Amino acid sequence: MSCSEFKPQGDKKVFKYNEPKGITSLDPAFARSMSNTWAVNMLFNGLVQLDSQLNIQPSIAKNWTISSDGKIYRFYLRNDVYFHKDPCFGKDSTRLLTARDFVYSFNRLLDPKLASPGKWVFANVSPPVETPFVAVSDTELVISLKQAFPPFLGLLAMQYCSVVPEEAIKSYGNDFRMHPIGTGPFRFFLWKEGVKLVLHRNPFYYEKDLKGKRLPYLDAVSVSFLSDAQSSFMAFLQGRTDMLNGLDDGSYKDAILTRSGDLKPELAEKIYAKRSAFLNTEYLGFLVSDSCKAVANSPVTNSDFRKAVNYAIDRRKMIRYLRNSIGIPGEHGLVPPFLYRQEKNRVKGYGFDLRLARYHLNKSGYTKNPVPVKLFITAQYTDLCEFIQHELEAIGIKASLEVNPPGTHGEIVARGQAPFFRKSWVADYPDAENYLSLLYSKNYTPAGPNYTLYASSLFDTWYEKSLRPMPDTMRESLYSKMDSLSIADAPMVILFYDESLRFLQKRVKALPNNPLNLLDLKRCKLEP
């Protein structure tokens, strides 16, 4: 069937959105990009899932237990979950899911021949645990870790950990990326790469609403792939799509938002906006290790210089005028403040203070020897970094910008060749540990995400202690102490905590936002 033949009939409820970055695979083992993840989330399920507040909720697993040493996870599965109908199970047939399907799916993810980018999720279950995944029965699954890792449940909510049937993998091989069979609320219908993806409602999906009606409410989802931002924007304004996601391109932000982040009044009758916190911290990093050749004669290894840079940037002004107030000024720590459940643990970072900026700059000795610094960036952030460049010049710091393609920029930073660079960190799972791992000394780049080469024995001690079994309140207190220590040492400049922003047609109802910016259409409704 060609894409042009798919036309919604009658009162069918079809949710339409455009994915400008395209989709490379519908196989959950390759759900690395957000565009892939959105589609995979509609087609597949895992043991657990996250609600809009990032709380871990049951999915295929009804409940679970964790051993006192934090190493043994025992899951009890539903007995009413079926895979989508497909010839791989026999003519127009399906099959009941069992715990053995998770054993197969998880071992597949670890298979080096597959080369899944999600293999790291199970790094903590590799040998010496010989059989980390065991199906005790059709409805009981045991996972054994080689050492405790408290955020593990959050990892299992990632789309990498979705369950797939062995029959489909054997039937379709590499073509499984284009012929996915899962258990999710929608099932695959057609995909013409770069043109259109269509998913149909799964009539046998196991989740129900409070009234006992099977989810989802939608009949279908249709995804287009217009790569031009302006074309995508116009398609939304003309009502040809139901949702416009974010302002990544930025070219139309002034056409749709006021400086204060509100929807333009003339658009409010047709569309509405939903925004929420997003687990993405945008920052500038300093290469703080004296042992790197890249920092020879550079002021970035001086903590007072780094503090001066932190105090010199007016983050609130930057957010208001360059991002139309989308984002939360980075005046706390590396960890987005909303990840701390207890208000007392939310740390205080750097605010805009020219007096303190000049004080620390003088203390660093920079004013006596004003060596120029170079900020490594990508073109997407030129406007933000030109603003930062101007802010630094106001206190006497000579800064230039080196703009490189994203791939080149990433390689330069990973090799420790950029003394001063722009980066961002989108959390893989909703736990402060995922952010603080950027400053753990054993995660030095290029093997890990510690691009600043920051090292503190005290930080490392607290980090390792936080991985032991303990009450969540104690662990969060340790997270807060690590975050505060990193602020004092200033290996980074926290610019802002991002927000997810969706523009929706007025007919779209009950579409939740969440800090992972995951598209969840199970309960979405469309009015006529």
The domain locations on the chain are 3-224+507-526, 278-499
How far is CA 212 from each of CA 215, 216, 218, 524, 527, rounded to the nearest angstrom?
9, 12, 16, 16, 21
What is the assigned CATH class of domain 3-224+507-526?
alpha beta
Tokens (6 digits) for 200: 């149909």
Sort 405 into a burial class: Cβ within 10 Å, 0-12 / 13-18 / 19+: exposed
Residue type, 388: I
pLDDT at 253: 82
pLDDT at 53: 87
Q: Provide CATH code, domain 278-499.
A: 3.10.105.10
Q: Decide whether 3-224+507-526 matches 278-499 in CATH topology.
A: no
Q: Which of 445, 388, 358, 338 is nearest to 55 (CA)?
A: 338
pLDDT 10s per residue in the chain (528 long)? 344 444 545 579 999 999 999 999 999 999 999 999 999 999 999 999 999 889 999 999 999 999 999 999 999 999 999 999 999 999 879 999 999 999 999 999 999 999 999 999 998 886 656 789 999 999 999 999 999 999 999 999 999 999 999 999 999 999 999 999 999 999 999 999 999 999 999 999 999 999 999 999 999 999 999 998 889 999 999 999 999 998 765 667 888 999 998 999 999 989 999 999 999 999 999 999 887 877 888 999 999 999 999 999 999 999 999 999 999 999 999 999 999 999 999 999 999 999 999 999 999 999 998 999 999 999 989 999 999 999 999 999 999 999 999 999 999 999 999 999 999 999 999 999 999 999 999 999 998 999 999 999 999 999 999 999 999 999 999 999 999 999 999 999 999 999 999 999 999 999 988 899 999 999 999 998
Residue 479 to residue 361: CA distance in whole angstroms: 29
Q: Count CA within 13 A, CB hemisphere, residue 480.
A: 18
pLDDT at 5: 41
pLDDT at 3: 42
How far is CA 174 from each of CA 21, 108, 171, 180, rounded to the nearest angstrom?
22, 13, 9, 11
Sort 520 into a burial class: Cβ within 10 Å, 0-12 / 13-18 / 19+: buried
pLDDT at 439: 97
Distance of CA 314 to the CA centre of its chain: 26
Tokens (6 digits) for 273: 């906006």
3-state secondary structure 469-492: CCCHHHHHHHHHHHHHHHHHHCCE
Residue 418 CB contacts under 8 Å (≥ 6 apart), including other chains: 285, 287, 294, 376, 412
Q: Which of 11, 12, 39 is nearest to 27 (CA)?
A: 39
Q: What residues form DSSP beta bridges with 208?
A: 214
Residue 502 to residue 57: CA distance in whole angstroms: 24
Residue 477 CB contacts under 8 Å (≥ 6 apart), including other chains: 345
